[in-house]
Amino acid sequence: MSTTIDSTPKADGYRMPAEWEDHSGCWLIWPERPDNWRLGGKPAQAAFTTVVAAIAETEPVTVAVSAAQYDNARQHLPAGVRVVEMSNDDSWIRDCGPTFVVNAAGDVRGVDWIFNAWGGLVDGLYFPWAADDAIARKVCEIEGVDRYRTDFVLEGGSIDVDGEGTLLVTEECLLSAGRNPELSKDEITERLCNYLGVLKVIWLPEGVYLDETNGHVDNFCRFTSPGHVMLTWTDDENDPQYARSLAALKILEATTDAQGRKLEITKIHQPGPITITAEESAGVDAVDGTLPREPGDRLAGSYVNSYIGNDLVILPIFNDPHDAAAIAAYTELFAPRRIVTVPGQEILLGGGNVHCITQQRPSGK
Amino acid sequence: MSTTIDSTPKADGYRMPAEWEDHSGCWLIWPERPDNWRLGGKPAQAAFTTVVAAIAETEPVTVAVSAAQYDNARQHLPAGVRVVEMSNDDSWIRDCGPTFVVNAAGDVRGVDWIFNAWGGLVDGLYFPWAADDAIARKVCEIEGVDRYRTDFVLEGGSIDVDGEGTLLVTEECLLSAGRNPELSKDEITERLCNYLGVLKVIWLPEGVYLDETNGHVDNFCRFTSPGHVMLTWTDDENDPQYARSLAALKILEATTDAQGRKLEITKIHQPGPITITAEESAGVDAVDGTLPREPGDRLAGSYVNSYIGNDLVILPIFNDPHDAAAIAAYTELFAPRRIVTVPGQEILLGGGNVHCITQQRPSGK
């Protein structure tokens, strides 16, 4: 019950809403692959269940799960959560799921980007990725929304919008060799405007240091309200993150949004740096062709990688000295929404965090 | 989003509605297994698509399909049909899907029977059947209806109700050694009353000759309206079907329904007998443990195996001299519903017909 449409959202009067606009639900994928999640995925499954339970307090949640894990997921997830069978290669529905767009009448459609596991055969993180690439279509079928299938490689985590015409991206990701190397920056800008219904793209150079997604913006810099962004920061000038954050700060200070506003910028100091322990590494299957998880590897931990639900925000924390400042900043930025913290380490070990594992379904209202 | 309930529909005020009561949709499963459907299932897929297209004229249709066949099914099925991934062992959702029940307020729940492929290790038709046994739960999740999980082996094709308290079954099926041999006939009657919300069970001795389901009543004798049944018949006293139909006729003539009414009985002469051709048999994979399809085998062809949709009835026909009489009888029995005929041979080759491959989702209205 999902017709494929050949035009573009912009041409049809659709735009991607900001994450703080009203949701009618949220989707996740149950984690399981043992070459990415330690100990057969059991600690990650518990961590995802905590996130699901928190989101389910504020909006309906659907969890997609493989046939093999269906019974196990159904038993662990809260009864009020919808569980549907869906083949997958991993559990990052922010990146392989549809990007929902809405029009002024409140109609909702899905944009089905080409997904190639963050770089395909150039620097992708696993092979194959065909099941993940089919996720967006299957979600659109179940949601009963029509679908734009694009010829453009993109993950939902590489974009962030204010809902009023402005988009944040990083050059590190969108100009990477593993995505759309045949397109110029101008051509990519045009496609982003057409498929997201935005008027202005703010290009930041790079994202978080060692982020295996090639610097997804959702782990680095995101809108918190129209005219206001939060930016991953470090005060340590010797940390490789410093130059990245400073370069972004200068661009953000010098630009305006699509409505002509100067941007307010809230710096959120990064946790850690956080690294993989020997025990954590030992629980991950070694498989040729999948990114290894070696002891001592630095993880791209970030407080920016949160989920903005209907009346709460899910914020990953790391038992880190910087947790308190992040919580305080979020409390102010997102009032009157409640800030619900969840342990972020287990999801971070898989390569992302709360925002990466969720995909809101806007209500269109 | 489907809670499992430990009580029974009867205790909670629920009943199974008659098939002619209003539907909010219909479910099917895409056929594919090459040891049951000839030529890799391609002719059956075309036949199912014809049935889907006809039902989709009158109510929303969802087709469940394996991951492997998802793309193919999506391309062949009409755009307005919802396609969802769901592992399966074969395509008989009448038998492995939920039996929906409704209450006076219009609420809908699903009964999830134990499914064991028509007889388990005693005389079941294939092994394993675990994916099919999980179908009912997965359908309830997507429909968002709560579910009764039973400890009772039953297929939806072995029961037929008038929606006013009366149930038709056959002893051949419900008392078979491969289903609930530890239960007496009285104990089975009690369970049927509790799970279907009926007051009276009419037990017929046997169903259609050589029906591999152990004589499912939906291929043999069904209510067409309260107080009225149709019965598979043959005028050939030497045909093994004759004694079966006559025995049922005598019981039907002598009984009353739950409301105390005598039953009107319309005999529908069977087609054929129809047998498998050498060419048809040659297209089916030979697999140990799956019922073979040998040339010359008699099929359990029947006009009773139809689907009653919201404003039409889907009737399988067989390019047979008895087609015309069946169409005429249906036209009168189901007026003002339209009678839509579909070629029944291809589905019959797999062991059932239109009723077996469908499962209505009542609206509760």
pLDDT tens digits along B301-310: 999 999 999 9
Q: Encoding tokens for residue A326? A: 């992040």
Who among B79, B131, B141 is closest to A82 (CB)?
B141
Q: Encoding tokens for residue A135? A: 């996720």
Residue B74, chain A, CB below 8 Å: the answer is yes
The residue with greater pLDDT, B14 or B365, is: B14
- B89: amino acid identity, one letter: D
Residue B81, chain A, CB below 8 Å: the answer is yes
Q: In what order do the strands lie in the sheet with B221-225?
A: B221-225, B228-233, B264-269
Average pLDDT over every residue of B31-59:
97
Per-residue confidence (pLDDT) for residue B330, from 0 to 100: 98
Average pLDDT over every residue of B228-240:
98
Preceding omega of A273 cis (within 30 degrees of 0): yes
- Using an 8 Å CB-CB cutoff, list chain B residues near A71: 134
User: Where is average pLDDT lowest: A286-300, B31-45, B97-111, B196-210?
Assistant: A286-300
Distance CA(B140)–CA(B130), nearest Å, equals 17
Per-residue confidence (pLDDT) for residue A291, from 0 to 100: 85
Q: What is the pLDDT along chain A (365 residues), one digit of tens a residue?
A: 789 999 999 999 999 999 999 999 999 999 999 999 999 999 999 999 999 999 999 999 999 999 999 999 999 999 999 999 999 999 999 999 999 999 999 999 999 999 999 999 999 999 999 999 999 999 999 999 999 999 999 999 999 999 999 999 999 999 999 999 999 999 999 999 999 999 999 999 999 999 999 999 999 999 999 999 999 999 999 999 999 999 999 999 999 999 999 999 999 999 999 999 999 999 999 988 888 889 999 999 999 999 999 999 999 999 999 999 999 999 999 999 999 999 999 999 999 999 999 999 999 98
Tens digits of per-residue pLDDT, A325-358?
A: 999 999 999 999 999 999 999 999 999 999 999 9
Report residue B1's pLDDT band, with 50, 70 and 90 as the boundaries. Answer: confident
> ipTM of the assembly?
0.89
Q: In what order do the strands lie in the sheet with B359-362?
A: B82-85, B61-65, B23-29, B359-362
Distance CA(A20)–CA(A160), nearest Å, equals 12
Taking alpha carbons only, the member of A179, A194, A248 closest to residue A217 is A248
- Using an 8 Å CB-CB cutoff, list chain B residues near A85: 84-87, 138
Residue A5, chain B, CB below 8 Å: the answer is no
Distance from CA of A120 to the nearest CA of B (A): 21
Residue B234, pLDDT > 90, answer yes
Distance CA(B247)–CA(B20), nearest Å, equals 27
SS3 B242: helix
Distance CA(B28)–CA(B354), nearest Å, equals 10
Residue A343, chain B, CB below 8 Å: the answer is no
CATH level 3 topology of A4-362: L-arginine/glycine Amidinotransferase; Chain A (3.75.10)
Is residue A356 part of the annotated active site? The answer reads: yes
Who among A1, A62, A85 is closest to B86 (CB)?
A85
Distance CA(B189)–CA(A111), nearest Å, equals 52
Distance CA(B31)–CA(B53), nearest Å, equals 15
Q: Encoding tokens for residue B226? A: 């309260």
* Residue B356 near residue B305 (C-beta atoms within 8 A): yes
Per-residue confidence (pLDDT) for residue A166, from 0 to 100: 98
The answer for A106, left when phi > 0, alpha when psi is -120 to 50, beta otherwise, is: left
Q: Is A138 within 8 Å of B84 when comparing Cβ atoms? A: yes
* Burial class of residue B227, CB neighbours in 10 A (0-12, 13-18, 19+): middle
- Using an 8 Å CB-CB cutoff, list chain A residues near B87: 67, 85
CB atoms within 10 A of CB B283: 16
SS3 A17: coil
SS3 B218: helix
Average pLDDT over every residue of B200-223:
98
* Burial class of residue B325, CB neighbours in 10 A (0-12, 13-18, 19+): middle
Residue B258, chain A, CB below 8 Å: the answer is no
Taking alpha carbons only, the member of A323, A310, A278, A311 closest to residue A297 is A278
Tens digits of per-residue pLDDT, A131-164?
A: 999 999 999 999 999 999 999 999 999 999 999 9
pTM for this predicted structure: 0.94
Minimal-distance CA residue of chain A relative to B138: A84
Q: Is B81 within 8 Å of A134 when comparing Cβ atoms? A: no
- Using an 8 Å CB-CB cutoff, list chain A residues near B55: none
Tens digits of per-residue pLDDT, B112-168?
A: 999 999 999 999 999 999 999 999 999 999 999 999 999 999 999 999 999 999 999
A267-305: b (≥16 Cβ within 10 Å) or e: ebbbbbbbebeeebbebbeeeeebbebeeebebbbbbbb
- Using an 8 Å CB-CB cutoff, list chain B residues near A79: 3
Taking alpha carbons only, the member of B27, B79, B114, B20 closest to residue B357 is B27
Distance CA(B136)–CA(B159), nearest Å, equals 16
Distance CA(B175)–CA(B183), nearest Å, equals 8
Per-residue confidence (pLDDT) for residue B291, from 0 to 100: 85
The domain ranges of chain A are 4-362
Q: Fill in the DSSP letter of residue A228.
A: E
CATH architecture of B13-362: 5-stranded Propeller (3.75)
